[in-house]
Amino acid sequence: MSRYVVIGAGPVGSATAQLLAARGDQVRLITRRGHGPDHQLIERIAADATDAAALSRHCTGAGVVFQCAQPPYHRWTTDFPPLAAAVLQAAEVTGAALLSVGNLYGYGQVDGPISERQPLRPNSKKGRLRVQLWAEALAAHQAGRIRFAEVRGSDYLGAGAKSIFTVMALPAVLAGRRVLFPADLDVAHSWTDVGDTARTLVAVADDENAWGRAWHTPTAPPMSIRELAGLAATVADAAPARVARMPAAMLWAAGLFAPDARELGELRYQFDRPFIIDSSAATAAFGIEPTPTADALRDTIADRRAESVLH
C-alpha cells in the first residue's frame, strides 16, 4: 500500500484523492479546514499549506505530493508564490516527488494547437506567474533536489468544475435564460475533464520515466461556446440554448463588484481566437482517452444539481 499526500480538495484534488483511495492507496488530504471526500483511506488534515515546516511534517513518508491547491483567482500573484515555495521545500525535505497541476496560461497567445513543446511566452500577469512557479520547481528537479512534473489542462468541466463556462454560461442554460458570454461565441476552445486530469496525475506518478517535464491532460475535441451551451441544454433536458455576446461595458461593470470578473480582461485572447490543446503525448504515453464532452457536462450538471438540493 502506497502513501500519497494531496494538497487541496477542489475538483482536481478531490478526484485525485478518490482515485488513489479507490485503488487501495493511503491518502493524506491537506486543506485549510480539513475538508474533502469521505473515505476510510483518506485522512483529512486541517493545515496551512504555506507553513513549510508543518507541511513537511505532514508529507513525511509520502512517495508523491500532489499540489492541487490554488488561492482565490484574484489573489494569485500574492498568495501563489508562498504556497508553491512551501510545497517545494516540503518535497525537498521529505524526499517526496512533487506533481503539480498547471494550466495553459504560460504559453500566451499561440497560433495553432498548443503542445508541451510550445515555448513559454506568457502575455498576462497570471501567465508570467505560472512560468515562474514552473521554472523554480523544474530547476530543483534538474539540480537533483527533487523529482518534479506538471500536468496542464484547459478550462475545466466535470464534477465541481469552476471555469468561465460553468460560472457565466451554465446557470443561464439550466434556467432557460439567454446566455451572455464575454467573447466570440463561435471560435473553437478546448474543455478538459476534471477526472481526466486526476487520471493523468496518477499515471505520471506511477511512471518512472514521466518526471522532469509537463504533460497535457487528454482532452476531447474543442467546442465553441455556442456549441457547448447547446450540448449542455441537450444533456440537461433544458430549453434550447440562446447565446449572445456580452457587451464589453457590462463585463467592465461586473468587475466593479466581482474581483474574479476583473481578472478576465487579460485572458480574453483565449476566447476571441481558437484556443486548442494538443494532448496527444499523454494519450500515447499512458493510454488515457479523453472523456467525451457530453459525459463531462453530464457530471458537471449532476454535481451542480446535487449541490442545489443540499443548499
* Per-residue pLDDT reduced to its tens digit, 44-92: 999 999 999 999 999 999 999 999 999 998 899 999 999 999 999 999 9
- pLDDT of 25 higher than 60: yes
Provide the grid cell at 47: 493545515
What's residue 253's pLDDT?
A: 43
> What are the Cα distances from residue 209, in Å, to 1, 65, 79, 95, 286?
21, 17, 32, 18, 11
Q: 34 — alpha (psi -120 to 50), left (phi > 0) or beta?
A: left
What's residue 310's pLDDT?
A: 62
d(CA 306, CA 186): 30
> Hey, where are the domains in the chain?
3-154+193-218+278-286
Q: Considering the domain 3-154+193-218+278-286 in this protein, what is its CATH number?
A: 3.40.50.720
User: Is the whole-model pTM more than 0.85?
Assistant: yes
Q: For 89, what's the count of Cα atoms within 13 Å in the CB-facing half-sphere?
A: 15
Query: 100-127, pLDDT tens digit by residue?
Result: 999 999 999 999 999 999 999 999 999 9
- pLDDT of 257 higher than 50: no
What's residue 246's pLDDT?
A: 81
Q: Are 102 and 130 in contact (CB under 8 A)?
A: yes
- Which pLDDT band holds residue 137 (cuts at 50, 70, 90)? very high
Q: Indicate the burial class of 309 (C-beta count within 10 angstroms; 0-12, 13-18, 19 or more).
A: exposed
- Which pLDDT band holds residue 182 (cuts at 50, 70, 90)? confident
